[in-house]
Amino acid sequence: MKNQSHTYTALELLEKLSTQTEAQLQWAIAECQMLPPAVVEAVPTPGAWSANQCLQHLNSYGRYYLPLLQKAIKKADKQNPQTSNTYTPGWLGGWFARTMETGPGDVPKKKMKAPANHTPAANIPSHAVIAEFIDQLELLLELLQEAAHVDLASARVPISIAPFITIKLGDTFWFLAAHIQRHVAQAKRAIDHVPNSKHTIPSL
Amino acid sequence: MQPALLQLQQLVQQRHPLQPHEWEAFADIWTPFEAKRKTILTRPGETERYLYFVTEGVQRVYFSKPDGKEATIIFTYAPSFSGVIDSLLLQKPSEYYLETLTQSSFLRAHFHQWQKLTTESSALAQFSNEAIVHALSGVMHRMAELQCYSAEEKFMQLMKRSPHVLRLIPHKYLANYLGIDATTFSKLLGTVRL
C-alpha cells in the first residue's frame, strides 16, 4: 500500500482493521480449524514454516501486544476521542506497519527474520495453536471496537524489540493487523503446498 | 413484508397458525437489531429486556464461574428465538451471558409488549407456552446426554443434529458445550474426516 492511501480518520482506520480481522477469523474458523493436523503441521519446503508455525509466531506476538493494547485503552483519554480527525501515523510506528504490509498477491514487500524469542517450536499440537489464534483474533476485534472511544494518537504502547520505545496506539493496531495479514498469507501458502490439502476437508 | 418478518411468520405459522389480525398485532412488536461478532447482549446481574428472533448468525448463552470456568448452555441460530429466557420471563437478574459468536441480525421484542400480547391473545399465549416447553424439552434432553453419554456419543449426536456448526463456531465453544476437552474434541473430529 502506498503512503498517500493512509489518510484515514481514526474511525476509518479501526473499521478497516476490523474488516481485515473479521476475514482472518472467518478463515480460521471455517477452514483452518477444519484441516487435519498433518496438513497444518506440514513444512512446505525444508527450512520454511508450516501453517502451525506461522500461527505460533503470531500467537507469541499477540501474547505480548494484546495485554498492552488492553492496558493502553484502559488508561487512555476517553474525554477526547478525536475519532473523526485524520489519523496521522508516527514516523516510527508508521514505518513498522508499512514494512509489515504485504504487496500484490499478499506477498511480503520486504523479507524479515523473526527474533529468536518469537521463533516457533515445532511440537505444539495444531488444534491448540489454532484455538489460541482464534481467541486472540476475537480479543483483537473487541479491542478495535473499544478503541473507537479513545484517542489513537495520544495513547502509546511499548514495542516488543525495545520496550523503552513507545509508538501510537493506532500504529500498534495497524502494525499488528499487518503482521497477522502477512503470516496468515504465509500459512495459506504452506497449506496450499500440501498435496490434496483441499480434499481432506470433511465434506459437511 | 421484510424478509426477517417473513422468516418469523413462517416459523410461527408452522408451529401455531394465527389469524390475520393476531399476526398483525404480533408482527408489530418486533424491531430489527444487529450486533457485531463477540458482542455481549446480556450480562449477569442485568435483567433481560428483549426476546430475540435470530435471522442471521450464531449466539451462545453461557455461565461463567468466578474462577474463569465456563459452561455453554445453548447455541442459537436462525431461524429460532434467543435470549436469557428465565431472566426474561421471570424479570429477574440474569445469571448468564448472552453473546454473539458471529456477526448477527435479529428481530427483537420488548418484554412488556410480548407480555401484553400473550395476555391478550390466547393463540399467542399457546404459541408462547409451546415454545417454552420445546426449550425445556431441549434442556432435559441435554441434561441426560451430559450425564450418560461418552465424549464420542456426544460428539456423534452433534454431528447428526447440527454438523454445519463445525465451520461456524470456534471448536473450543463446541467442546465446552459438549463438556469434553479440546484435545478429545480434536481427536473425535479426526475420526469423522474423510
The residues, ordered by sequence, that sit 6+ positions from B132 with a Cβ below 8 Å of its Cβ are: B85, B89
Overall average pLDDT of the B57-63 stretch: 97
Q: What is the chain B residue with the closest CA to A32?
A: B167
- The better pLDDT of the pair A186, A111 is held by A186
Residues from chain B that touch A199, judged by Cβ atoms under 8 A, are 194
Candidate ranges A92-96, B90-94, B134-138; pick with highest mean pLDDT: B90-94
Asked if B183 and A125 come within 8 Å (Cβ–Cβ), the reply is yes
Summarised one tens digit per residue, pLDDT across range A145-180 is 999 988 888 888 888 878 888 888 899 999 999 999
Average pLDDT over residues B141-153: 95
Instruction: Give the residue ranges of DSSP H helices in A76-195.
Output: 91-100, 126-146, 169-192
Cell (9 digits) for A106: 499478499
Contacts of A34 in chain B (CB under 8 A): 166-167, 189
Phi, psi dihedrals of residue B38, rounded to the nearest 5°:
55, 45
Of B163, B167, B186, Cβ closest to residue A127: B186
Distance from the Cα of residue A108 to its chain's centroid:
14
Q: Do A200 and B193 touch (CB under 8 A)?
A: yes
pLDDT value, residue A151: 86
Measure the CA–CA gap between B115 and B113, rounded to whole angstroms. 5
Test mutation, A26, A29, A130, chain B, max B CBs within 10 A:
A29
Contact B170/A29, CB-based, under 8 Å? yes
DSSP H helices in A31-168: 37-40, 51-75, 91-100, 126-146
User: How far, in Å, CA of A54 to CA of B86, rounded?
Assistant: 44
Confidence of residue A121 (pLDDT cuts 50, 70, 90): confident
**Which residues of B fall within a CB distance of 8 Å from A146?**
none
Q: Find which of B164, B189, B191, B192 to mutate to test the A interface (most A CBs within 10 Å of its CB).
A: B189
Model confidence band, residue A7 (pLDDT cutoffs 50, 70, 90): confident
The mean pLDDT of B9-16, rounded to a whole number, is 88
pLDDT level of residue B17 (50, 70, 90 thresholds): confident
Between CA B139 and CA B72 the distance in angstroms is 12
Chain A residue numbers with beta carbons less than 8 Å from the beta carbon of B163 are 204
What is the C-alpha to C-alpha distance for residues A91 and A149, in angstroms, rounded to an integer? 24
Please state the rounded mean pLDDT for residues B59-78.
95
- If one compares A201 and A35, the residue with the highest pLDDT of the two is A35
User: Which residue is associated with the grid cell 418484554?
Assistant: B111
Q: Which chain A residues contact residue B164 at CB under 8 A?
A: 204
The mean pLDDT of chain B is 93
Quick one: what percent of chain B has pLDDT higher than 90?
85
Give the pLDDT score at A39. 94
Dihedrals φ, ψ of A70, to 5°? Answer: -55, -45
Q: Which three cell numbers stand for residue A99?
A: 514494512
Q: What is the pTM of this model?
A: 0.89
Judged by DSSP in three states, A119 sits in coil
pLDDT at B5 over 90: yes
Instruction: Among A18, A31, A204, pick the best mutation site for testing chain B contact (most B Cβ within 10 A).
Output: A204
Nearest to B36 among A33, A145, A204 (CB): A145
CB contact under 8 A, B186 and A138: no
- Evaluate if residue B51 carries a pLDDT over 60: yes
Q: Indicate the pLDDT class of residue B193, thresholds 50, 70 and 90.
A: low
Query: Which residues of B touch chain A, with CB atoms under 8 Å apart?
Result: 36-38, 103, 163-164, 166-172, 182-183, 185-186, 189-190, 192-194
Residue A4 in this model has a pLDDT that exceeds 60: no
CA distance A69 to A158: 10
Q: What is the ipTM of this complex?
A: 0.87
Rounded to whole angstroms, how far apart are CA atoms B59 and B108? Answer: 14
Asked if B55 and B95 touch (Cβ cutoff 8 Å), the reply is no
pLDDT classification of A5: cutoffs 50, 70, 90: low
Q: How far is A204 from chain B (nearest CA, A)?
A: 7
Q: What is the pLDDT of residues A54-90, one digit of tens each?
A: 999 999 999 999 999 999 999 887 777 777 778 888 8
Tell me the pLDDT band of A36, cut-offs 50, 70 and 90: very high
Facing residue for B164 by CB, picked from A18, A25, A204: A204
User: CB of B82 within 8 A of CB of B127?
Assistant: no
Write out B111-178 in H/E/C secondary structure: HHHHHHHHHHCHHHHHHHHHHHHHHHHHHHHHHHHHHHCCHHHHHHHHHHHCHHHHHCCCHHHHHHHH
